[in-house]
Amino acid sequence: MENEVNVMPRIGEKAPAFEAVTTQGKINFPADFKGKWKILFSHPADFTPVCTSEFMTFGKMADEFEALNCQLVGLSVDGLYSHIAWLRTIREKIEYKGMKDVEIHFPLIDDVSMKVAKLYGMIQPGESETSAVRAVFFIDPKDTIRTIMYYPLALGRNFDEIKRVLVGLQTVDNFGVALPADWRPGDEVIVPTAGSCGVAKERVEDKSGEIHCYDWFFCTRRLPKEEVESRLGCAEK
């Protein structure tokens, strides 16, 4: 039991598979979302204020994630009827920061048994033994976990950052680059340097002026926002 709670999937590993009942019917995760990016995220409890503000924000941004070929899947250790009643309350009654009539179309998992929460290390007993922490798993089209975030119960997540991470991961895959601190589309990107495996020396002795080196280990190039945007949502590396 102790081990079961402490299982923590890690970056670079395949997303653990499971079947679950959700507000959109049964799902077989990740198999049902073949070829897509997936964001699997947990919240502590239905009918709580921080979670409500998060769901309204995610619901409002759902089209943006869909445009990035990304399936959102939520989870808490509440049951299906609680989920349905909470989502109806959000849609019919809550107006918050200019958001209203927010409909949640992505699946929300019934995990009363905590089966999925334990599989993904979402139960962190020092924070809570009875609810999931705020976890976010970014899973690529090949079902590999690429980024994990964990937030405590009392702190709502930043959904612009969640979108930035997804865009960043897709940019890394599509352009074979790394991304510096606070990168946003249109900012310069980091290119491999001569010291890196398989990089020809001429690559950094670039005469075209395209590459700028701050030092021998730190070179960047321009990557226009339009070029990034034209490749977002692509499924393959």
> What residues are labeled active site?
51
Place of tokens 């502590």: 44
Please, which residues bridge with residue 213 across strands?
219
Least separation in angstroms between residue 131's CB and ligand BEZ is 6
Least separation in angstroms between residue 45's CB and ligand BEZ is 5
94 binds ligand BEZ, rule: CB under 6 A: no
Query: Helix H segments across 68-144?
Result: 80-93, 115-119
Stretch that binds ligand BEZ, among 20-28, 47-55, 69-77, 195-203 (CB under 6 A): 47-55
How far is 147 from 137, CA to CA, in rounded Å?
6
Least separation in angstroms between residue 116's CB and ligand BEZ is 18
44 binds ligand BEZ, rule: CB under 6 A: yes
How far is 49 from 97, CA to CA, in rounded Å?
13
Stretch that binds ligand BEZ, among 1-9, 41-49, 112-120, 140-148 (CB under 6 A): 41-49
**How many binding residues for ligand BEZ (CB under 6 A)?**
8
Q: Which of 5, 45, 172, 232 is close enough to bind ligand BEZ by CB under 6 A?
A: 45
Neighbour order of strands in the sheet with 37-42: 25-29, 18-22, 108-110, 70-76, 37-42, 134-139, 145-151
Nearer to ligand BEZ, 44 or 141 (CB): 44
Contact criterion met (CB below 8 Å) for 188 and 221: yes
Nearer to ligand BEZ, 15 or 77 (CB): 77
Q: Classify burial at 11, counting beta carbons within 10 Å of its beta carbon; exposed 0-12, middle 13-18, buried 19 or more.
A: exposed
Least separation in angstroms between residue 85's CB and ligand BEZ is 16
Q: End-to-end distance of the chain based on CA atoms, in angstroms?
A: 38
153 binds ligand BEZ, rule: CB under 6 A: yes
How far is 120 from 57, CA to CA, in rounded Å?
23
Per-residue x/- track, 158-177, ligand BEZ (CB under 6 A): --------------------
- Helical pair 80-93 and 49-67, crossing angle rounded to 10 deg: 80
Q: Which of 15, 39, 51, 139 is close enough to bind ligand BEZ by CB under 6 A?
A: 51
48 binds ligand BEZ, rule: CB under 6 A: yes
Stretch that binds ligand BEZ, among 45-53, 141-149, 165-173, 197-205 (CB under 6 A): 45-53
